[in-house]
Amino acid sequence: MADALDVAVLTEWLKRAAATINARQAYLSELDAAIGDGDHGANLARGFNAVIAKLGTPADPAILFKTVGMTLIGTVGGASGPLYGSFFLEMAKAVQGSAALDAAAWPRVLAAGVAGVVARGKAEPGDKTMVDALAPAVAALNAAAPLADTLAASAAAARQGAEATVPMIARKGRASYLGERSAGHPDPGATSSAMLLAALAEAAG
Amino acid sequence: MADALDVAVLTEWLKRAAATINARQAYLSELDAAIGDGDHGANLARGFNAVIAKLGTPADPAILFKTVGMTLIGTVGGASGPLYGSFFLEMAKAVQGSAALDAAAWPRVLAAGVAGVVARGKAEPGDKTMVDALAPAVAALNAAAPLADTLAASAAAARQGAEATVPMIARKGRASYLGERSAGHPDPGATSSAMLLAALAEAAG
Amino acid sequence: MKKLINAPDKVVDEALAGMAAAHPGLITLHTEPNFIVRADAPVRGKVALVSGGGSGHEPMHGGFVGRGMLDAACPGAVFTSPTPDQVLAATKAVDGGAGVLHIVKNYTGDVLNFEMAADLAKEEGLDVGAVVIDDDVAVQDSLYTAGRRGVGGTVLAEKICGGAAEAGADLASLAALCAEVKASVRSMGLALTACTVPHIGKPNFALGEDEMEFGIGIHGEPGRKRVTLEPADRVAEMLMAPILADLPFKPGDRVLLFVNGMGGTPLIELYIVFRAAHEIARRHGLTVARSLVGNYITSLEMAGTSITLLRLTDAMIAHWDAPVLTPSLRWGA
Amino acid sequence: MKKLINAPDKVVDEALAGMAAAHPGLITLHTEPNFIVRADAPVRGKVALVSGGGSGHEPMHGGFVGRGMLDAACPGAVFTSPTPDQVLAATKAVDGGAGVLHIVKNYTGDVLNFEMAADLAKEEGLDVGAVVIDDDVAVQDSLYTAGRRGVGGTVLAEKICGGAAEAGADLASLAALCAEVKASVRSMGLALTACTVPHIGKPNFALGEDEMEFGIGIHGEPGRKRVTLEPADRVAEMLMAPILADLPFKPGDRVLLFVNGMGGTPLIELYIVFRAAHEIARRHGLTVARSLVGNYITSLEMAGTSITLLRLTDAMIAHWDAPVLTPSLRWGA
Ligand SMILES: Nc1ncnc2c1ncn2[C@@H]1O[C@H](COP(=O)(O)OP(=O)(O)O)[C@@H](O)[C@H]1O
Ligand SMILES: Nc1ncnc2c1ncn2[C@@H]1O[C@H](COP(=O)(O)OP(=O)(O)O)[C@@H](O)[C@H]1O
Ligand SMILES: [Mg+2]
Ligand SMILES: [Mg+2]
Ligand SMILES: [Mg+2]
Ligand SMILES: [Mg+2]
């Protein structure tokens, strides 16, 4: 049980994230097929497999996040590539100089990543996007709690946020073209975001 | 019961032929779909309906046959258009000057029509074409018999000839492209020829 | 049957009307009987090229009418050869005094109807020649059969002869060139799905999810055999092997490689087949000097492909490269 | 899934290789990252046009690379926008010193990836502009949504801007022309069948024998609503009515009428739709000054059609008519 996110824990996060994405690739693509174009699983699998291949042994969290961001941007394509890319690039900026992030430091870092997604994609909560999982994940963090607990709470909030996208009518991304027909399905990006945060909680737990 | 084929009987022939072709159009096309391109029924329906529309009250059998031949050539297309067209055009030449054809005259006329088909299409008996119905129809004619009897025999021979095409491997027409796969199906043109000769026997019977 | 049509018996006439509306400067449509001529026909002193056949193979032949290719095309009903009066009327409409060459695909119906039309045109004093294209190696040739079908080679013959006619070739040398193309071209095709003739309403044959029909023609008819679905590289091998063996094509030959779609196969797949066929040609020692990839001679909405290989001469290359200005094949003009 | 492919993860690379092999004189393929440039790129002193998007829409965009149209195209995975490094590399490869215009279809993925690439290119000192095409009237526009999709109008914008760039327009006036085309063009599409993304292996939605999907995009996604199958004339009405109302198009307007196939619909059907759309345009008082009919912006093997109507200016007509020399759109050269 880690009490700070250092390069080792973060590397473990990405490995678990890649494993989940690979295992759930078909499921994510199916979600995307229902209200998008059916490639979200394949996009992320391509991206996270490239991340694992590229990662090596980064000197600090900033380099690690930057590598992840650049790799996702260079391999994912689609909407989620630049969005998850920005997520990690903004976290890289926020951790500049730190060797490890404890429960007190992490909220600022995750918030910076989510702000990067919002800055790129201009989505608001309720638009039925990954922001609907990411924003609650930030809000649920507790700087005073043990790291494992706050990450578990954050992951649970992300999962609930993802589930809460089901009834929403999409206003951003491909699903928005469907109008009312987009309701009744979970958002694929919110679902993958919840998976990422669950992998983080596991890696640190 | 007619004892010679005059314009009235021949007109009745064509009406009955058109009726049969229309009624059996789907069946003929289905036969053609199995070993050809599926248009034989539609081709002949288009042609014989045009014949009925064009026919009017021809002065003699030669004019009648010529009108039928030219109309079929002008409306049927495909292989069967020129072949049935030649059939009627050669009969038109053979009846030149006659007002009616009795049992003694008919074999020469039908033979001329069939020779026209063979001259155009170069098919031999056994090639799995309309010739396999038409040639037996000529051979079965008896110049000495009552007209109705000889036409009935001729029609029966045509039907048997058409049925005998089932095991044949086609050597002419579209079905020849199938090679051995053409065996096991009746030839559509032989089937329609048998229908035409049956309609003649009925019209005179 | 899911098609963008109004009624089966209106398909040909309405498609022709649409074509005429879409290409007013290039072609003129005549009706009753149906035929399409290039807008400036007849061209005085030029040998005219006339082709035709059943509809359902679009863009062939109507899409190839225009400067540098066909002077006229005669569309029959779907998959049914045109009638002699169509061919005769088209022949007379485009005759510019230098004679008319009929380019005919080898199907009994096409051959007989064009023959009848040529006979009638000759009776009226026109100078008419004909070449029958029969490039489909799926069919065994024999003196006693209908012979091989005319397929993809027809498109190439029409372009090359069209270039030569524009350059002033007379009827005899044009017929000789066409015969040379015919002798130098081989094709083979394969279907992933059947197609549905509008007035029939259901496909002529049914293929399972893992089946292909090998050795098809262009009329939705069944092919030579049913085989299991194979990857594109293997499909290219299956089509190229009999083509290469048949002429035969020899190392050093310059060729035109034509990968054609049957109507329902998108370009992305045709390029994958082209890549494989090109590689096979290269391994065989051939120089792919010219290429054509696309849906040019189709069977309605059938999914599938055919490969055509033409051994080129300098003259053929020059006439292939010559300007062409038709609805569906156009360059240099 | 019945496709002429070898493996889902090889589709794009092999199709690109086939394309490069088929058009050696026109285009050059770069790999890692994938992009296609015109053979003579960079053209000194000319503004370069770069477009791109997911694969599966062939011939768009790679088939439109060449003299008089695009300088480069960046193909992503099937239905997935390209990555910024592709766009950046292509932008640098074709920059001839006069700047680069990105023509982007309005999809979040395309927009974000092109934006990132433009930012990077600007950091490297290049002059880069961008126009986002959003012509699909099936989607309600709003400040709060992703907005309308870019569909058929993209093809027209690329040709017209390509003509203007070749004629020497500078980056600012080219961007203004592209914005004018964007403001003057409207599209609407409909599917008879779904399509299958290779790595998914089954269609994204299922349509019954008597159903159509109305208001589709170009990524095999479901449309605005499911409706019953209608005859072609009615289909043309259903597509034309919202298009005509939206701009709105007014009697006397000169238009370019573009009837596009989604990949699996053969030309014979597209001409039937064109006939109907042309008649509707005429009844509306429009002058159809230019036409385009064919499979130009597709969704893999989807059967269906889209209609695009562009209100023309004299300048647009001149640039549309200007010579173009690409694999899939070619005239005057
Ligand atoms: N503007 C946006 N802001 C935030 N997230 C977005 C936005 N647009 C799309 N997304 C997310 O991206 C996901 C789709 O990603 P993906 O399928 O990989 O890309 P594409 O939509 O280009 O095919 C959506 O489910 C949604 O969560
Ligand atoms: N060379 C030939 N000689 C005699 N009959 C022939 C010949 N070729 C074809 N046929 C007949 O024509 C019939 C097919 O006619 P049809 O389907 O109308 O024309 P197509 O084959 O052009 O589609 C065949 O069933 C056969 O009986
Ligand atoms: Mg997606
Ligand atoms: Mg037939
Ligand atoms: Mg036929
Ligand atoms: Mg996508």
Q: How confident is the model at residue C140 (pLDDT cuts 50, 70, 90)?
A: confident
Q: How confident is the model at residue C182 (pLDDT cuts 50, 70, 90)?
A: very high
The answer to whether the CB of A36 is under 6 A from ligand 1 is yes
In a domain, D2, yes or no: no
For residues C139 and C19, membership in a common domain is answered with: yes
pLDDT in tens, D7-34: 999 999 999 999 999 999 999 999 999 9
- What is the distance, to the nearest Å, from the Cα of residue D265 to the centroid of all Cα atoms in its chain? 17
Q: How confident is the model at residue D143 (pLDDT cuts 50, 70, 90)?
A: low
In a domain, D110, yes or no: yes
The pLDDT assigned to A63 comes to 97
Q: Give the closest residue to B41 by CA, choosing from B184, B188, B200, B155.
A: B188
- The domain limits of chain A are 5-204
Q: Is the pLDDT of residue D141 over 80?
A: no
Question: Can you read off the two tokens belonging to residue D22?
Answer: 């088929």
Query: Around D77, how many Cα atoms within 13 Å sit in the side-chain half-sphere?
Result: 28
For residues D165 and D291, membership in a common domain is answered with: no
The percentage of chain A sitting over the pLDDT mark of 90, rounded to a whole number, equals 92
For residues C32 and C157, membership in a common domain is answered with: yes
- HEC-encoded secondary structure of B122-181: CCCCCCCCCHHHHHHHHHCCCCCCCHHHHHHHHHHHHHHHHHCCCCCCCCCCHHHHHHHH
How far apart are the C-alpha atoms of A62 and A68, rounded to whole Å? 10
Q: Is the pLDDT of residue C228 over 80?
A: yes
State the total domains in chain D: 2
Q: How confident is the model at residue C204 (pLDDT cuts 50, 70, 90)?
A: confident
Give yes or no for C272 touching D (CB within 8 A): yes
Tell me the three state secondary structure of residue D279: helix
In a domain, D22, yes or no: yes
For residues D164 and D235, membership in a common domain is answered with: no
For the CA of A174, the nearest ligand: 1
How far apart are the C-alpha atoms of B139 and D156, rounded to whole Å? 68
Give yes or no for C267 touching D (CB within 8 A): yes
Q: How confident is the model at residue C272 (pLDDT cuts 50, 70, 90)?
A: very high
Which residue in D1, D2, D3, D4 has the most chain C C-beta atoms within 10 A of its own C-beta, making it the best mutation to test that interface? D4
D48-55 and D100-105 strand pairing: parallel
For the CA of C219, the nearest ligand: 5
CATH number at D130 reads 3.40.50.10440
In a domain, C14, yes or no: yes
The pLDDT assigned to A178 comes to 86
- As a whole number, mean pLDDT of residues A59-85 equals 96
The pLDDT assigned to D140 comes to 76
* Backbone φ, ψ for residue C48 (5° rounding): -95, 140
The pLDDT assigned to A2 comes to 83
Active site annotation includes C61: no
The pLDDT assigned to B38 comes to 87
Contact B84, B21 (CB under 8 A): no
Q: Give the closest residue to C281 by CA, choosing from C312, C305, C317.
A: C312
- As a whole number, mean pLDDT of residues C213-238 equals 93
Average pLDDT score, chain D? 96
CB atoms within 10 A of CB A56: 10
Contact B69, B85 (CB under 8 A): yes
Question: Can you read off the two tokens belonging to residue C8?
Answer: 């089966």
Q: Is the pLDDT of residue C143 over 80?
A: no
For residues C111 and C15, membership in a common domain is answered with: yes
In a domain, D3, yes or no: no
Active site annotation includes C219: yes
pLDDT in tens, D287-308: 999 999 999 999 999 999 999 9
- C-alpha distance across the termini of chain A, in Å: 5
For residues C34 and C177, membership in a common domain is answered with: yes
pLDDT in tens, D250-298: 999 999 999 999 999 999 999 999 999 999 999 999 999 999 999 999 9
In a domain, D1, yes or no: no
Q: Give the closest residue to D80 by CA, choosing from A112, B143, C241, A76.
A: A76
pLDDT in tens, A132-147: 999 999 999 999 999 9
For residues D106 and D229, membership in a common domain is answered with: no
For residues D251 and D173, membership in a common domain is answered with: no
Contact C192, C221 (CB under 8 A): no
Q: Which of C23, C219, C278, C319 is catalytic?
A: C219
CB contact under 8 A, D330 and C333: no
Of D81, D199, D220, the CB nearest to A77: D81
How far apart are the C-alpha atoms of B8 and B91, rounded to whole Å? 17
pLDDT in tens, D75-116: 999 999 999 999 999 999 999 999 999 999 999 999 999 999
Alpha-carbon distance D56 to nearest alpha carbon in chain A (angstroms): 12
> Could you tell me which chain C residue has the CA closest to the CA of B117?
C112
Contact C132, C111 (CB under 8 A): yes
pLDDT in tens, B22-42: 999 999 999 998 998 889 999
- As a whole number, mean pLDDT of residues D121-142 equals 92
In a domain, C3, yes or no: no
ipTM over 0.90: yes
User: How far does residue D150's CA lie from ligand 1's centre (Å)?
Assistant: 17
Alpha-carbon distance A124 to nearest alpha carbon in chain D (angstroms): 9
C221 vs A40 pLDDT, higher one: A40
Q: Give the closest residue to C72 by CA, choosing from C26, C127, C119.
A: C26
Q: Give the closest residue to A10 by CA, choosing from A46, A41, A43, A55.
A: A55
How far apart are the C-alpha atoms of C319 and D3, rounded to whole Å? 35
For residues D138 and D201, membership in a common domain is answered with: no
Q: B54 vs B51, C120, C174, D120, D202, CA distance in Å? A: 5, 21, 40, 76, 53
D-proximal residues of C, 167-186, CB under 8 Å:
none
Alpha-carbon distance B150 to nearest alpha carbon in chain C (angstroms): 32
D-proximal residues of C, 111-140, CB under 8 Å:
none
For residues C299 and C326, membership in a common domain is answered with: no
> Could you tell me which chain C residue has the CA closest to the CA of B171?
C145
Partner chains of C (3+ C-beta pairs under 8 Å):
B, D
Domain coverage including residue D267: 185-313
Q: How confident is the model at residue C155 (pLDDT cuts 50, 70, 90)?
A: very high
State the closest ligand 2 atom to the C-alpha of B129, by its place in the atom list counted from 1: 27
Q: Which residues contact D43 (CB under 8 A, 6 or more apart)?
A: D71, D94, D96
Which residue in A37, A169, A182 has the most chain D C-beta atoms within 10 A of its own C-beta, making it the best mutation to test that interface? A37
For residues C127 and C276, membership in a common domain is answered with: no
Q: How confident is the model at residue C264 (pLDDT cuts 50, 70, 90)?
A: very high
Q: Which residues contact A177 (CB under 8 A, 6 or more apart)?
A: D138, D139, D146, D149, D217, D221, D224
**Treating both helix axes as pointing N-terminal to C-terminal, what angle do A106-121 and A131-139 enclose, rounded to 10 degrees?**
150
C308 sits in which H/E element: strand C304-311
Chain A residues whose CB is inside 8 A of the D77 CB are 39, 42-43, 46, 77
Among the residue ranges A140-149, A174-183, B134-143, C38-47, the one predicted with the least confidence is A174-183
Report cis status (omega within 30 of 0) of the bond before C42. yes
For residues C33 and C166, membership in a common domain is answered with: yes
Contact D69, D158 (CB under 8 A): yes
How far apart are the C-alpha atoms of C152 and B49, rounded to whole Å? 35
Closest protein CA for atom 25 of ligand 1: A189
The pLDDT assigned to D83 comes to 96
Contact C101, C174 (CB under 8 A): yes
> Could you tell me which chain D residue has the CA closest to the CA of C198?
D269
Domain B5-204: which CATH number of 1.25.40.340, 3.30.70.141, 2.40.30.10, 3.30.300.30? 1.25.40.340
How far apart are the C-alpha atoms of D262 and C167, rounded to whole Å? 38
CB atoms within 10 A of CB C126: 17
Which residue reads 């989807």 in tokens?
D302
The pLDDT assigned to D206 comes to 87
The pLDDT assigned to B178 comes to 86
